[in-house]
């Protein structure tokens, strides 16, 4: 995956909490260091995010996005 976003941290999904419209994703990027993002439930399901899966936190000045390889 090649991206223009410079703040790209690989980590492991610690938890995913689904609501009706959005999901909260907790990504552990280092022992004891977590990044939390709220993304659409559709996106969380499309990325098949679940505890233990590796993912990337892509941080732009106004948002945190989640990506997988």
pTM over cut 0.85: no
Count the alpha carbons within 13 Å of 17 in the hemisphere toward its beta carbon: 5
- pLDDT tens per residue, range 21-32: 999 999 999 999
- pLDDT tens per residue, range 27-69: 999 999 999 999 999 999 999 999 999 999 988 777 667 889 8
Tell me the C-alpha distance between 67 and 33, whole Å. Answer: 18
Q: Which pLDDT score is estimated for 10? A: 94
Tell me the C-alpha distance between 55 and 69, whole Å. Answer: 8
Sketch the domain layout of the chain as residue ranges: 7-67
Class of domain 7-67: mainly beta
């Amino acid at each position: 995956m090649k991206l223009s976003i410079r703040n790209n941290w690989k980590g492991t999904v610690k938890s995913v909490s689904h609501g009706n419209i959005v999901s909260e994703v907790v990504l552990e990027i280092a022992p004891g260091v977590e990044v939390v993002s709220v993304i659409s439930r559709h996106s969380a399901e499309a990325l098949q995010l679940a505890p233990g899966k590796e993912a990337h936190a892509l941080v732009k000045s106004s948002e945190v996005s989640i990506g997988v390889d």
